Amino acid sequence: MFLVLAKLMTTSHQMPVFSPLPVAFARGQGASLWDVNGRKYLDALAGIAVCGLGHAHPRITSALCDQAAKLLHTSNWYEVPLQAQLADELCSLAGMDNVFFCNSGAEANEAAIKLARLYGHQRKILTPGIIVTEGSFHGRTLATLSATGNRKIQAGFEPLVQGFYRVPYNDAASVAQVGERNQDVVAVLVEPITGEGGIVVPDAGYLRELRRICDERGWLLMFDEIQTGMGRTGRWFACQHEGVTPDVMTLAKGLGNGVPIGACLARGTAAGVFQAGNHGSTFSGNPLVCRVALEVLDILRSEQLDRRAAELGTRMLDGLRQELASVPGVKDIRGKGLMLAVELDRPCKELMRLALDAGLLINVTSERVVRLLPPLIISDAEADEIVRMVGWLTRDFLASAPARGAAS
């Protein structure tokens, strides 16, 4: 009854763009959440790869409170030393030269897209094009949904932003071919591992080959690390698994552990594209979000959570394979670090609610892919518990749900 009331109260004047599960959380601690009725849940989603340090991390809470008591916002009409410090630290971690801060992933990609277009215009290309991939997700603003490789996200919002060429993911040869046919290409934008598109890990060498193609043609290589960044895949940034540095990198999600911050990083020529007046945002890199993001970086670094994510990822992947590899209906089990997927042969959104009923938070993306993005601070025991629960929930689901529309 209380839950129903809470739901009515929280949704009545909200635009119905989300369809939340019937639960409201009152507090969190580490990888645990408690709902308004005091029931405990194990969080294997971390707010969709946002709360890498878990909930109510004492150092984040104290940085947030300390900064809130000093200064929240001044605007970029004045210098913001915390922003400069955050930019320095991010650049040194990512091998980049400068940063534009914003408030979300979509805004970070929007900045990257604008940067690529301006780069083109500075080279006298009047209709600069950007190569993007099928199955990608880059955000919900007009430009980023146009870049996104999912018709469902675009439908109804036509006319889309022009200037994107789409190629299959994990197919560098197609990227080169599009470039041969179109002289106006200036950049390639890809996720190093797709997130919303079902945790597709490309073949080793794909990112390196993209780097080579871009170098040969003077294109900008732009990596959307919004979901893969900040230690999640076992390195600070997923492109580091292949030793590839892009010209432009976008970040958000785990950078703020829950405070809204995005970042568009640039290197080399790309770092000289934006000049005063080319781009901006009122909230861009205000003292509060920068202070928290600096604390996030410090915790990730001092606790070596990238390494821990790699270790936990191997443990969980092995565990999931033991639990599910031979189960009929399970098509694939994959991932890198703490970005893990169990792909089924049938739609399985229902599993999110079944898991919730069992006290576990998971996600289903691309209709058939169970996605796990737990906080990087989970214990071995919590990792094992997630694996065990996903194992029995998936087996039960497959045994009871007809393989409607199952791929042959």
Q: Which residues bind ligand PLP (CB under 6 A)?
A: 48, 104-106, 109, 137-139, 191, 195-196, 224, 226-227, 252
* Cis bond upstream, residue 159 (ω within 30): yes
Residue 5's φ and ψ, nearest 5 degrees, are: -60, -45
In the set 164, 253, 306, 336, the catalytic residue is 253
Number of other residues whose CB lies within 10 A of the CB of residue 268: 12
380 among known catalytic residues: no
Residues constituting the chain: 408
137 among known catalytic residues: yes
Shortest Å, Cβ 211 to ligand PLP: 19
Q: Residue 224 or residue 295: which is nearer to ligand PLP going by CB?
A: 224
In the set 43, 224, 247, 306, the catalytic residue is 224
Residues 329 and 384: beta-carbon distance below 8 Å: no
Closest CA to 19 of 357, 353, 400: 353
Q: Residue 262 or residue 329: which is nearer to ligand PLP going by CB?
A: 262
Shortest Å, Cβ 137 to ligand PLP: 5
Residues 45 and 28: their CA atoms lie apart, in Å, by 13
Neighbouring residues of 369: CB distance < 8 A, sequence distance ≥ 6:
198, 199, 341, 342, 343, 344
Q: Residue 163 or residue 192: which is nearer to ligand PLP going by CB?
A: 192
In the set 101, 137, 223, 237, the catalytic residue is 137
The continuous run of DSSP H or E covering 190 comes out as strand 185-190
Shortest Å, Cβ 85 to ligand PLP: 23
Running DSSP on this structure, what letter comes out for residue 233?
Answer: T
Number of other residues whose CB lies within 10 A of the CB of residue 34: 15
Q: Residue 179 or residue 337: which is nearer to ligand PLP going by CB?
A: 337
- The backbone region for 243, taken as left when phi is positive above 0, alpha when psi lies in -120 to 50, beta otherwise, is left
Shortest Å, Cβ 374 to ligand PLP: 16
Shortest Å, Cβ 45 to ligand PLP: 12
- Could you list the active site residues? 137, 224, 253
